[in-house]
Amino acid sequence: MFDISFGEILLIGIVALVVLGPERLPTVARTLGALVARAQRFVASVKADIHQQANLSGLGELRNDIQDAAHSFKSQMEAEVQGVREVIAEQSAQLQQLSNEVAVPLQEAAQTIHGGLDLQAQPSPASVVSTVVEEKTAADQPPRDENQLDLFDDHPPAATQPTSESRPHA
């Protein structure tokens, strides 16, 4: 630290022994050692504080950089969203305009094709689907033989009504 060689330290020790004497030299050496140790701890704490402050200033700059990047990303995303909203609004307006342009000829064509039928009175999609399902299930069932007894049939056999030919005339 001070660039003192071993010979210089030995010379200082001999002078101290002569000046202080053998009875006071150990207490002075202990005190001097404690002062040197305290100075070393002080220097170490100052170095740690300087290093910590340097790291904090670096972290502060890093935090500012991250915040700037986040703000720029946010503004960029907001600009993109606004652009998409504008495009959607333009497309919606164009579609509305096309819908309005096509509505009148479509109604005229419907009147011409249907001959003035009320298109609002069309059957609902649910009834159309149920009709199609009933037709399909009726087509899938095999023909029923009236003379055969079906134990698993859900519907009892229809009672046959006597026809006018089989009734006795009174």
Domain ranges of the chain: 10-83
pLDDT digits (tens, 9 = 90+) for 37-49: 999 999 999 999 9
pLDDT at site 162: 52
Q: List Cβ neighbours of 123 (8 Å cut-off, separation of 6 or more).
A: 131
Kindly report the pTM of this predicted structure. Answer: 0.34
Q: Which residues of the chain have pLDDT under 70?
A: 1-2, 116-145, 148-170
Q: What is the DSSP string of 94-127?
A: HHHHHHHHHHHHHHHHHHHHHTT--GGGSPPHHH
pLDDT at site 117: 54
- Pair 108, 115: CB distance under 8 Å: no
Residue with tokens 């991250």: 66
Buried b (16+ CB within 10 A) or exposed e, 70-102: eeeeeeeeeeeeeeeeeeeeeeeeeeeeeeeee
pLDDT at site 170: 47
Torsional class of 131: left (φ above 0), alpha (ψ -120 to 50), beta (otherwise): alpha
- Which residue type sits at 74? K
